[in-house]
Structure 1
Amino acid sequence: MEIHPQLWITGGSLVAIFALAGLAWWLKLGGKPVLSEDADVRAAAGEVEDGFEAQRISIARDGAAALASDKAGRIMVIKRHGNQFAGRTLTSAAKVREEVDGLVVDCGETQFGSVRLSLEDPAYWADAINRL
């Protein structure tokens, strides 16, 4: 019995795919990063904007987003974007909507989108954002 060359190619491709997936798993590549403590938020905020030193921080319950404010009263929203974090310093164009268990923050930039945060203190942040 002769095996068609296309089956050899398909089988070899599947073996290569599984080998690469195993290598990625072994190297712990990918995954979803989480903001679990204030230091994580400070580091992410510092990467977004050089010199942003977060003073007050609230991390979403799922660790996928956070809000941070600095001494100057600027507020930054940070969210997970792929396997890293992205953030924006909010301006007067920002809009906030309170929900039952958190906030939805729209920084006013369509490419960044809205961020839903389930927080312990949503009223404080809603007032702070509305004052911008």
Structure 2
Amino acid sequence: MALLTQTAVSLVAILALAGLAWWLKLGGAPRLDSAEAVARAAGEVEDGFAPVATSFDAEGASALARDGAGRIMVIKRHGNRFAGRVLGPGAGARPEVQPGEFNLVVDPGEPRFGKVFLTLPDAEAWADAINRVSGAQDA
């Protein structure tokens, strides 16, 4: 009987902790699913980065943001946070045709950061903008 009581109490405690975590909205994967979420993440990556244009991946795992100065930032999920880079010389982007997977590959030019794969409605426009920004800084 003691083992049954101990098991029941443990189960109630686990459920109570799970309920508390759910109520506090802890855990889970953060999403970039709105312009506000992208702006918040961009501001966390670089203090003062204020996007005037954003586009976020269909899955909410990555996004692009452009500020008033024309700088473009790529943001991706890294664990339960976001990491991003302002694109500069050496960065590039290319539209892809991967139905159901992604349609834009952004290479920030930093091997440790890695390429970012996005599914965007305006992939070609972003690819052109990224390639112009990175090319203009090479001159």
TM-score (norm 1): 0.80
Deviation at 1:23, TM superposition (A): 3.1
- Greater CA drift, 20-29 or 36-45: 20-29
Which residue number corresponds to residue 91 of structure 2? 94
Deviation at 1:86, TM superposition (A): 0.9
Q: Does 1:23 align with 2:17?
A: yes
Which residue number corresponds to residue 113 of structure 2? 112
Deviations 1:41-93 (A, max 9, x none): 00000010011110010011111100000111100001111111111000021
Aligned mate of 1:65, from 49, 55, 62: 62
Three-state SS of the structure 2 residue aligned to 1:27 is helix
Distance 1:95 1:75 in 2: 11
Kindly tell me the number of residue pairs found equivalent between the two proteins: 120
- Greater CA drift, 92-101 or 30-39: 92-101
Runs of 4+ in 1 over 2 A off after TM superposition: 19-26
Three-state SS of the structure 1 residue aligned to 2:51 is coil
Three-state SS of the structure 2 residue aligned to 1:110 is coil
% same residue: 57
Cα RMSD after superposing both structures: 2.3
Uncovered stretches (5+) of structure 2, i.e. residues with no partner: 1-9, 135-139
Aligned mate of 2:50, from 49, 53, 76: 53
Which residue number corresponds to residue 37 of structure 1? 34
Distance 1:128 1:50 in 2: 23
1:71 aligned partner, one-letter code? G
TM-score (norm 2): 0.76
- Greater CA drift, 98-107 or 78-87: 98-107
- Greater CA drift, 25-34 or 113-122: 25-34
When residues 117 and 25 of structure 1 are mapped into structure 2, their CA distance, relative to the original with a 3 A threshold, is farther
Deviation at 1:21, TM superposition (A): 9.2
C-alpha contact (below 8 Å) 2:21/2:27 kept by paired residues? no
Distance 2:81 2:41 in 1: 9
2:57 aligned partner, one-letter code? A
| Structure with bigger gyration radius | 1
